[in-house]
Structures are given as structure tokens and as C-alpha cells.
Amino acid sequence: MLANTKALLAKSWKNEAADLPVGKHEVNETLIVRVRGEIEKHDDQMIAPTVSIPLVSVLAYFWERAGIERDAAMSMLREAIHEAMTNGENEDAAVLKRIEDVNAAIQAVKTDLIATLPKMPRNGKLDTSRLTIDVLALSAEDEPLAVEAA
């Protein structure tokens, strides 16, 4: 059960940021943690294997089939990245039309290709939204009590 509790704590606080300055920090704290509430483990699912698509290889094959030579491809990619970062949200009508084309291509890949790939298993979602976690840091005087309780 301890391993499950550790996993629940990690999952509950996965997006919690540590507010530490750069450098090494010594940590020596004794805590009392109370975990209450309800968790729900959903059924495993079969999903499209999008994470299995090797994006770099796909781009390499795409450039090859498009007949784009390496240096030209890199130059065009650099220009596109620079323009996208410089212009940001100020795209003109021509760029907005291209973005629509790209979105349509992505949707076509999802429906025509990814949907036809064999499904792969994914662990069911673990819902910790109804879990309450209280943490109490013990003072130096209280620490012997924690050791005795263990």
C-alpha cells in the first residue's frame, strides 16, 4: 500500500513547481501526510499508436519524396521558423490559408492513416480529483514522536 500511496502523491502533485533558486539544497524534513478521499481507476483502453510515429523519419521521407535537397530544406525550415516566431499571431491571409491546409492535412492523416493502424493498449486513467492530501511538517521537538510511531 505504501507504493500506491507514493504513486498517488506523485500523481496528485505532478504539476507542482518547486520554487528554488539555482544551486544545491539540503533537505531534512519529517512530514505527516494524510491522504483521504476517493480515487478511480478506469479501464485500460486500446488507442491509436500516435506516439509510435517516428516524426523525424516521417519528415526525412517527406523531404525526400518532395524532392527537397538537404541544404535547401534546412534553409526553408530556418526561414519558416523565423517567420513564425517573428510574426506570431499576425499572420496574413495567405499564411492563414496555409494553416488551414496544414490542419486539413493533419485531420486527413488522423482519419485516413492513424485510424487504420492497429490499436495498442494504454493503462486506464487514474482519477485523483476527489483526493485530499494534507501535509504537516513536524518541528524538531515533534520528530521523536514520528520515529516512535513508525
DSSP states along 108-128: HIIIIIGGGSPPEEEPPPEEE
CB within 8 Å of 66: residues ≥ 6 apart: none
Residue 125: CB partners within 8 Å, gap ≥ 6? 41, 42
145 — pLDDT class (breaks 50, 70, 90):
low
- How much is the pTM? 0.49
Report pLDDT for 58: 84
pLDDT of residue 22: 93
Q: What percent of the chain has pLDDT over 70?
A: 91
